């Protein structure tokens, strides 16, 4: 008729239903977890992944690995999404959440085989999650976020399992310095934003991604990395005659071009005298000169603009002994404004004395590696910063960057929720033992919204099995830590369980030796908010996948041979 191809749905699509679909989903989740199980703990192994463009990814970060893996099974895609959510929310625990979710799903398989309905299992999981969060609240201890030694210990715990653990002292200081600088910004801006925001809260938002930029420059050694209390741009000054080092510069930030504005559409000019042509050119020059004069009236030493600067404007700036940098990125311009206390101006005519930034002690242009960098540092009260990373190769720098982002996220989480729980699988074992004891009692003692003893909180006979299954699933984290360290999992877990049953809830696994150790003496603490998020995400994923009882794969009908144009897939194969 119109020649448009019509895709007819297959009358008999590939379909899995009932128990078969649930087993398929659980198997897919376990397969994803098996890929990154060895990436947990300080003795974790690295994965080398070749991306479709031919690049190499070398990492043990759960999210970075799963992001690159191409999977077809819908349940596996859902599991990979968990890791991404955890990374965005907390920055840490991306491997743990996958391993734990797969373990909870695997433990539900035996419950399904006993013909327990998925709704009953999900109800038990809800009660188990409430009980687990209550146990974390009991075990958690408060932390003083202004105590640098305590904070360094927490960040070091997060970096102990990463590639940069050799330089953990340096990386922890970098992460902590950067977060403290950005946190000052959020503390300064939070009252105003809370007054105007509908979703205001007492907790400040610490925006690491926007205000703490990481600049990776191959060359040198990792020990040369540092936090610059200011801004670093991969830019050089526009004219070779301009000053490359200025003490206490007065900085003007612009969002407009410093060149004659051309007509937006085709413009025709008709001249009746020969002198008019030269006059038209003089007018263009006068406009540019007037713009430069207006800017120089505020007594600036450095001009940065997001747009272009014409040669004539550069010439006039040079006569006024003003340095220029052009085509600055919007995000960089915003950070410079925060660091030096300037205001970004959209029109030259609107420039005022108060818009000039004076919070920078020195501006200099340095050559680092093969490129020139403009450095505005140190700043008197920076509310944004730059982290300069050096290293032997791009692959290693990318991995260091990923680890540093995790460290900054952990520091941010502790500042926003200053509670700690023991690491090394101690909190998971404490939750597991606590759930087992609650199952024996029948009613959890935790008061949730005053509902203690009500019907919602009582564990009935059928729900006891799934409730205990969660308790067993929690032990997967300490078990994996022991296995990755090459220890005897059965013996160590039995000892650890005995300690926790005797209310020694701070005992965990030493990831280096595979033996049990008191985390108070070992000094390994983790942010409670990360553990809470891991639990919530893992249980929610298990609940969602258990609700699936039918997987229908809609396949496009195979085209008749010799009829019409080839399908896109066939065209790709032909190439």
For residue 113 the two structure tokens come to: 């085989």
Q: β-strands 385-391, 212-218: how paired?
A: parallel
Contacts of 226 (CB under 8 A, 6+ apart): 174, 387, 388
Residue 325, strand partner residues: 304
Cα 246–248–252 angle (5° rounding)? 85
137 is catalytic: no
Q: Among all chains, which residue has been given the structure tokens 């009692």?
A: 441
480 is catalytic: no
For residue 401 the two structure tokens come to: 């960057």
Which of 301, 355, 406, 480 is catalytic? The answer is: 406
DSSP annotation of 220 reads S
94 is catalytic: yes
Which of 94, 161, 305, 506 is catalytic? The answer is: 94
549 is catalytic: no
Which of 61, 92, 301, 332 is catalytic? The answer is: 61
DSSP annotation of 496 reads H
Label each residue of 413-455 as H, E or C. Answer: HHHHCCEEEECCCHHHHHHHHHHHHHHHHCCCCCCCCCCCCCH
Q: Among all chains, which residue has been given the structure tokens 């996948």?
A: 545
DSSP annotation of 17 reads E
Rg of the chain (C-alpha set): 30
Which of 59, 92, 95, 301 is catalytic? The answer is: 95
Residue count of the chain, please give it: 575
State phi, psi for 317 to the nearest 5 degrees: -60, -40
CA 338/CA 89 separation, integer angstroms: 25
| Counts of helices then strands in the chain (DSSP H, E) | 19, 20
3-state secondary structure of 169: helix
Cα 561 to chain centroid, rounded: 49
Residues with active-site annotation: 61, 94-95, 406
């Amino acid at each position: 008729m119109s020649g448009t191809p019509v895709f007819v749905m297959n009358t008999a699509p590939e379909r899995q239903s009932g128990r078969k679909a649930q087993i398929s989903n659980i198997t897919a989740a376990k397969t994803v977890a098996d890929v990154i199980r060895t990436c947990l703990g300080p003795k974790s192994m690295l994965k080398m992944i070749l991306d479709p463009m031919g690049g190499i990814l070398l990492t043990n970060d759960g999210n970075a690995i799963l992001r690159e893996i191409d999977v077809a099974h819908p349940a596996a895609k859902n599991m990979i999404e968990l890791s991404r959510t955890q990374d965005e929310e907390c920055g840490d625990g991306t491997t743990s959440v996958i391993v734990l979710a797969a373990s909870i799903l695997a433990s539900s398989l035996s419950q399904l085989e006993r013909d327990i309905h998925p709704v009953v299992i999900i109800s038990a999981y809800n009660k188990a999650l409430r009980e687990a969060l209550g146990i974390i609240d009991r075990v958690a201890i408060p932390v003083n976020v202004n105590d640098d030694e305590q904070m360094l210990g927490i960040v070091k715990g997060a970096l102990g399992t990463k590639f940069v653990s050799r330089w953990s002292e340096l990386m922890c200081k970098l992460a902590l310095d950067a977060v403290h600088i950005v946190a000052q910004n959020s503390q300064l801006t939070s009252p105003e934003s809370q007054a105007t925001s509908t979703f205001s809260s007492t907790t400040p938002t610490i925006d690491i991604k926007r205000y703490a930029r990481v600049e990776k420059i191959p060359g040198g050694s990792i020990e040369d990395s540092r936090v610059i209390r200011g801004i670093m741009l991969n830019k050089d000054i526009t004219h070779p005659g301009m000053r490359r080092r200025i003490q206490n510069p007065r900085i003007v930030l612009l969002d407009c071009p410093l060149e004659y504005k051309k007509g937006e559409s085709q413009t025709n000019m008709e001249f009746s005298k020969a002198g008019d042509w030269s006059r038209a050119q003089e007018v263009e020059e006068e406009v540019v000169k007037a713009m430069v004069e207006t800017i120089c009236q505020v007594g600036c030493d450095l001009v940065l603009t997001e747009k272009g600067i014409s040669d004539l404007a550069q010439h006039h700036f040079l006569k006024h002994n003003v340095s220029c940098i052009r085509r600055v990125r919007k995000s960089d311009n915003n950070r410079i404004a925060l660091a030096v206390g300037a205001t970004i101006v959209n029109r030259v005519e609107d420039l005022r004395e108060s818009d000039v930034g004076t919070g920078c002690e020195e501006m200099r242009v340095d050559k680092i590696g093969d490129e020139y960098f403009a450095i505005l540092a140190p700043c008197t009260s920076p509310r944004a910063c730059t982290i300069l990373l050096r290293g032997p190769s791009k692959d290693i720098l990318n991995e260091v960057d990923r680890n540093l982002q995790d460290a900054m996220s952990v520091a941010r989480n502790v500042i926003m929720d200053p509670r700690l729980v023991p690491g090394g699988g101690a909190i998971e074992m404490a939750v597991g033992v606590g759930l087992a004891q609650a199952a024996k009692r029948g009613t959890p003692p935790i008061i949730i919204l005053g509902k203690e003893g009500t019907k919602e909180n009582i564990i009935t006979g059928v729900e006891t099995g799934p409730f205990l299954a969660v308790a067993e699933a929690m032990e997967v984290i300490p078990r994996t830590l022991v296995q990755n360290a090459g220890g005897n999992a059965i013996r160590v877990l039995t000892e650890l369980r005995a300690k926790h049953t005797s209310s020694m809830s701070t005992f965990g696994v030493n990831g280096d030796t595979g033996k049990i150790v008191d985390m108070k003496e070992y000094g390994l603490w983790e942010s409670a908010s990360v553990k809470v998020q891991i639990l919530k995400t893992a249980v929610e994923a298990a609940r969602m996948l258990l609700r699936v009882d039918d997987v229908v794969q809609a396949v496009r009908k195979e085209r008749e041979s010799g009829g019409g144009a080839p399908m896109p897939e066939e065209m790709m194969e032909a190439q």
